[in-house]
Structure 1
Amino acid sequence: MTDQATDTLRAAEHERERMRQEIIDDLDEEIELELQEDGLDGSISESENAFRREYFRELVRLQTELVKLQDWVQATGQRIVVLFEGRDAAGKGGVIKRITQRLNPRICRVAALPAPTDREKTQWYFQRYVAHLPAAGEIVLFDRSWYNRAGVEHVMGFCTDEEYEEFFRSVPEFERMLVRSGIKLVKYWFSITDDEQEARFRARMEDRLKQWKLSPMDLESRRRWEAYTKAKETMLEKSSIEEAPWWVVQAVDKKRARLNCINHLLSLVPYKPVPRPEVVLPPRVYHSDYERQPTPDAMIVPEIY
């Protein structure tokens, strides 16, 4: 083998190693997320460790399928809306984070609306949500949705009884209209137990990185657990329609809930792999008169790690 061939082989091996490290770095981000959430102190049983390995394998596999779904949605001009509802600390944000983690934010975006403004309160109730619906080739994940009226607004007294009843008269027709327009509408309720919510709240109280997640409204929801339960039961009964039924995710186990929800979402959409054109990296253009200018030391971020 000539020296040139050897150098070429070494360069190719070096490039493959760089790509491998890039993939590992991406996976490490997910692992760091899980370690942070679990609060592991280094003591983990072999059975727990085995499940974690299986969880990561399945999550990456499902995220690969989500990329295929994204490509299909973009190529075919589909429009998908997924609603995530559930009690505070039920795990909605966790599954949304795993769904979007590998996807293009220009295609799959999250809508998490704040409390309505004074002006929005005078509008048609669904108006501010309509503005976030997808165009062709887009997926929108609602982290809480128009079902705020059926839950927190009703329980906390932020709407009148007349507005509450009108919501249930309107929402089936509103959602049928969305479906008739060509939108695929999927609705998930994340279900946890009383004890599990209390445990997650107490964990947040102890974790400085998560204390911001606890709002006065969250704390009040603990006191009104039974009222929220009744509101949830009424919501599922009155707004689960054939065109857009409710799906309940058993969410006491966060990791299993994420896998089950993503797997179920994929099963509801008849996506197919979209052929991708071969990507050819063009050669870099060199100019003999180009001279790279040094970066001033004052602009360099200190390398303390």
Structure 2
Amino acid sequence: MAAEGEATGKSKNRKDRRAGGDAGVVADNDGDLLADELEAIPTAIPRQGDGYRQRQNGSGGQIAYAIDAAGHALTGEDLTRINTRKGLLTLLKNKAVDLEEVRRTLLYEQELRALQVELVRFQRWVQAEGQRIAILVEGRDAAGKGGTIRRFTEHLNPRAMRVVALPKPSDEEKGQWYFQRYIRQLPNKGEIVFFDRSWYNRAVVEPVMGFCSKKDHQRFLQQVTEFEHMLYEDGVTIIRFWFSISKEEQAKRFDARRQNPLKQWKLSPVDEKAQELWDSYTRYKEEMFSKTHSAFSPWIIVQANDKQAARLESLRHVLNLLPYKGKDEAQIRLAPDPNVITRFHRKMVELDF
């Protein structure tokens, strides 16, 4: 009877707190944590990952939906419930949401924020030391280049950072030395410049699409290493990324863009031919790596089928590469995952897996 009375009393205490007591109290009158009560934590609605797709769960065949999938949006009542870990888990189970995907997205957001804090420190060091940093982001269409650049630049000071995404050359620029229009965009003292595609258009896209002659292409391959070595000798740090995705993943991302009215602008005639010309892209890409990879400016290959991993590890690579002030105090791992980030090696056979 005593035990029954004690249990009834604890149950009443829980009801009293829920009815109007202190929402932050998570212990009984003796100060012990209650087994079915978890501390209140600030929460936010997890964002749908760019690469998220509906998945079939292993048990029961239940479909897991993205948080913002049609018919599965969270209501105001749902949001009211998201005030404890227990409430969040219960809500997501009732909504048939993929808990593992939500957990992964929350961890990704947490790591991303910590790395972006380090990027702010990194930029301050670049400004203070007068460094000149050029980050070239290359890869096949829909490989996640633009999304990664956005994560790099989201919280940086725009006065000491630029993103360069040049359109096709004008008639005047066509009559100039090929590198001339890119030289104008190189970083100034204390500045970071991100190239969303760069002079390496002439190594892959232009010859594949017939936008340059075979002679233009070969001249570029002969000149580009000397051009970059002059920049290196003058103190410019060049970081070259190649985002590598599979043919199947590219097709899925193209299809997602066609269906999303906010992303349809990303599709271009060049993109539409990317699948058809896949093997041609591969041949020119491998020739580019073979003839332009160098010790002072190596090609960094990013396995990018997983967008979130590609973004995090690319940020880590840049932070790990240079000795910015405060690096030793970082509260997060800066060494990139070797399963995601690798240097090009001439014995590598398969880069776009």
Q: TM-score range by the shorter chain?
A: 0.7 to 0.9
Q: Distance in 2 between matches of 1:153 and 1:232?
A: 12
Task: Report how many aligned residue pairs link the two structures.
Answer: 247
Is the alpha carbon distance of 1:240 and 1:100 closer, same or farther for their aligned partners in structure 2, counting shifts above 3 Å?
same
Q: Distance in 1 between matches of 2:238 and 2:108?
A: 27
Return 5+ residue gaps in structure 1 as ranges.
1-23, 275-305
Match of 1:173 in 2: 226
SS in structure 2 opposite 1:222? coil
SS in structure 2 opposite 1:242? coil
Match of 1:232 in 2: 285
Deviations 1:18-40 (A, max 9, x none): xxxxxx9xx98xx65x4677464
1:44 positional shift: 2.9
Tell me, yes or no, if structure 1 residue 148 matches structure 2 residue 201. Answer: yes
| Kept after mapping to 1: 8 A contact 2:50/2:307 | no
Instruction: After TM superposition, list the pairs within 5 Å mapping 1:24-103 onto structure 2.
Output: 34=48, 38=52, 40=67, 41=69, 42=72, 43-103=96-156
Q: 1:220 aligned to 273, 276, 279, which one? A: 273
Letter in 2 for 1:185: I
Q: 2:165 aligned to 87, 101, 112, which one? A: 112
Tell me, yes or no, if structure 1 residue 261 matches structure 2 residue 314. Answer: yes
Say which one has the larger Rg: 2
Letter in 1 for 2:162: R
Q: Distance in 1 between matches of 2:161 and 2:172?
A: 28
SS in structure 1 opposite 2:107? helix
Higher relative contact order (CA 8 A, sep 6+): 1
Q: Distance in 1 between matches of 2:118 and 2:229?
A: 28
1:273 positional shift: 3.0
| Kept after mapping to 1: 8 A contact 2:303/2:310 | yes
Q: 1:271 aligned to 324, 338, 349, which one? A: 324
Match of 2:11 in 1: none
Return 5+ residue gaps in structure 2 as ranges.
1-41, 53-65, 73-95, 328-353
Match of 1:200 in 2: 253
TM-score (norm 2): 0.67
Q: Distance in 2 between matches of 1:142 and 1:115?
A: 14
Deviations 1:232-289 (A, max 9, x none): 1111111111110100000000000000111011111111139xxxxxxxxxxxxxxx
Match of 2:336 in 1: none
SS in structure 2 opposite 1:221? coil
Q: Distance in 1 between matches of 2:186 and 2:97?
A: 43
Instruction: After TM superposition, list the pairs within 5 Å mapping 1:276-291 onto structure 2.
Output: none
Tell me, yes or no, if structure 1 residue 133 matches structure 2 residue 186. Answer: yes
Q: Distance in 1 between matches of 2:320 and 2:288?
A: 24
User: Which structure: greater helix fraction?
Assistant: 1
4+ residue runs of structure 1 moved beyond 6 angstroms? none
Could you tell me the percent identity over the aligned residues? 50
Tell me, yes or no, if structure 1 residue 248 matches structure 2 residue 313. Answer: no
RMSD: 1.9
TM-score (norm 1): 0.78
